[in-house]
Amino acid sequence: MKEEKTSAHKQCMAIYWTWHTNNRGFKPKVDASDGDGMKKMINYLFSLTPTTKEVVDMFQYILNHWDELDDFYKRGTRLRQINSNIHNIIDFFKNGQTAKNKTGVSSSYLQKLANDLSTESD
């Protein structure tokens, strides 16, 4: 399992670096607390799904759909912030929006996502 977590960590860090540079417009600052946040997030994602590929895919999905999140979560782009909110971020995508969310995401899309996430965690 250690090798899988190390592999997932490396892949997710590369995904994050590329995403942040391309979508935020500058290279991210990654310090020890961010590395620790990534490690904790990887451990949590492995508790939801058993394979490295699914962990990496889930992290990629979150970043690919970042703009659909509430503004509160969108502002927290450091890995330590993403980790501290990972439960709520996954809940947002898996179980849909609250009445306060105004992202314009269709309910059918959210249902498809919920189904995809449900099958990934089985």
Q: pLDDT tier at 114 (50, 70, 90 boundaries)? A: confident
118 pLDDT above the threshold of 70: yes
Task: Report pLDDT for 20.
Answer: 97
Instruction: Find, among 68, 67, 52, the residue nearest to 110 by Cα.
Output: 68
Q: Any idea where the domains of the chain sit in the sequence?
A: 2-121
Query: Cβ neighbours of residue 82 under 8 Å, at least 6 residues apart?
Result: 37, 41, 62, 76, 89
52 pLDDT above the threshold of 80: yes
pLDDT digits (tens, 9 = 90+) for 10-23: 999 999 999 999 99
Cα angle value 69/24/59 (rounded, 5°)? 50
Percentage of residues in the chain with pLDDT exceeding 70? 85
In whole angstroms, what is the distance from residue 44 CA to residue 49 CA? 9
Looking at per-residue pLDDT, the higher value among 62 and 98 belongs to: 62
Q: pLDDT tier at 119 (50, 70, 90 boundaries)? A: confident
Structure pTM? 0.77
Number of C-beta neighbours around residue 83 at 10 A:
22
